[in-house]
Structure 1
Amino acid sequence: MSEGFALFVRFTLRDQDAATAFDDLCARTLEGIKTQEPGTLAYVTHIPVDEPLIRVFYELYADRAAFEAHEAQPHTKRFLAEREQYLSGVEVTFLDTIAGKVATV
């Protein structure tokens, strides 16, 4: 299993209008991630069942340098600057890999 660099982020949104705007911001950000970040191996957003104002992100990077490259991108900087207006809370958990399976394309 490669080392990688992963994190789990849980966002709590203020209300449904904020959730809609946050989802739009995420979609715009994901466009840049898909086209400009080869070291970002997975960047997946989720809505937990029965929690409409929660968003969960799972992010997997090839290594710490790929994460730092992600953080330096203009689309990521825009996301970080704009997201606060929609949030009532955020929790970030950095993850160490123990074992797993990674799909190859």
Structure 2
Amino acid sequence: MTNAHRQGDGVTRRHLAKSLGAGAFMTAAFVGSANAQTPAGTAPPFELPQGAVTVVAYLQASGGRENKLAEISSHLMAEVRENEPGNLLFQTHRGADVPGLILFYEVFATEEAFQAHKDAEHTKRWFREIEPLVAGPVQVFVLRAV
């Protein structure tokens, strides 16, 4: 584990596993076989393309700034969904039982799509805007579908 993947202020992997469910923290729980049955009102499961890039990232809001951080992050989510055709999924979450936790679950079709996301002006702007709102660095886990 590198320094960038250390525990955040008040947020530990144990907290994340408890909030999200142990399996959901580091796996794509929504991925299933093409023949799976889906309950009414739910999206059908799908398989990720081989080599797809999944990103799980989280951060901790500082001193009551969770609402502003969530608002800025919702704007990023909308921009990614609208302007990045290589993005298959981008979802922002708030910690259910960890106050101030913001978690992102993102899936990109290719490494190139993920690089385009990192290079996009809206992503760079988001990092600038959140700097005064967070208690530490964004913790990022990059995974590749097999």
Aligned match of 1:61: 108
1:26 paired with 2:73, answer yes
Verify: 1:8 aligned to 2:56, yes or no.
yes
1:103 corresponding residue in structure 2: none
Displacement of 1:52 in angstroms is 2.1
Partner residue, 1:73: 120
- What are the Cα deviations for residues 56-77 of structure 1, in whole angstroms up to 9, with x where unaligned? 1111101110011112222111
Displacement, 1:96? 2.9
Question: TM-score scaled to structure 2, two decimals?
Answer: 0.61
> Does the Cα contact within 8 Å between 2:77 and 2:92 map onto a contact in 1?
no
Q: Equivalent residue of 1:22, what SS?
A: helix
Q: Find the aligned partners of 2:53 and 2:98 in 1 and give their Cα distance.
A: 27
Separation (CA, whole Å) in 1 of partners of 2:135 and 2:94: 16
**Alpha carbons 2:53, 2:108 under 8 Å: kept:** yes
1:32-76 deviation line (CA, Å, top 9, x unaligned): 112110101111111222112101111110111001111222211
Gaps of 5+ in 1: 99-105
| Residue in structure 1 matched with residue 34 of structure 2 by the alignment | none
Match in the other structure for 2:32: none
Identity rate, percent: 27
Query: Pairwise CA RMSD of aligned residues?
Result: 1.4
Q: Relative contact order: is structure 1 or structure 2 higher (C-alpha 8 Å, sep ≥ 6)?
A: 1
**Would you say how many aligned residue pairs link Structure 1 and Structure 2?**
97
1:88 aligned counterpart, secondary structure: coil
Structure 2 unaligned runs (5+)? 1-47
Higher strand share: 1
